[in-house]
């Protein structure tokens, strides 16, 4: 499924929730980053023909879960790095305060 089809499907999802699709809502609901010009193009397509919903391909859905797993792994790595940096900062600040006191 192309990004335009994905965006059009998001427009249908938003509309079915009783909301009016907008660039901000579409980008907020998307599972991956979307370029604003592409969102505008998809929104225009949806407005021009809001009766025809593009077919969803299962391959795209599988890609989303793989992306979600890689994002979870990345968050885990970043949390570990932050913890390490925090420990180093604490050790550094302890060293600085010991020098001032000694």
How do residues 68-85 score in pLDDT, each as one tens digit?
A: 767 888 888 888 899 999
Cα gap 86→95, rounded to integer Å? 14
Note the pLDDT of residue 61: 45
Lowest pLDDT segment from 36-40, 62-66, 78-82: 62-66
Backbone angles phi, psi at 12, to 5 degrees: -65, -45
Query: Which 3 state secondary structure label does DSSP give 57?
Result: coil
Note the pLDDT of residue 57: 55
Two structure tokens written together for 76: 């885990």
């Amino acid at each position: 499924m192309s990004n335009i089809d994905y965006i059009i499907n998001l427009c249908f999802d938003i509309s079915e929730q009783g909301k009016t699709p907008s660039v901000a809502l579409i980008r907020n609901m998307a599972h991956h980053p979307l370029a604003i010009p592409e969102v505008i193009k998809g929104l225009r397509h949806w407005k021009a023909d809001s009766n025809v919903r593009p077919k969803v391909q299962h391959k795209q859905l599988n890609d989303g879960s793989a992306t979600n797993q890689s994002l979870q792994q990345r968050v885990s790595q970043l949390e570990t790095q932050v913890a390490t940096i925090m420990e180093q900062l604490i050790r550094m600040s302890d060293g600085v305060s010991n020098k001032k006191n000694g």
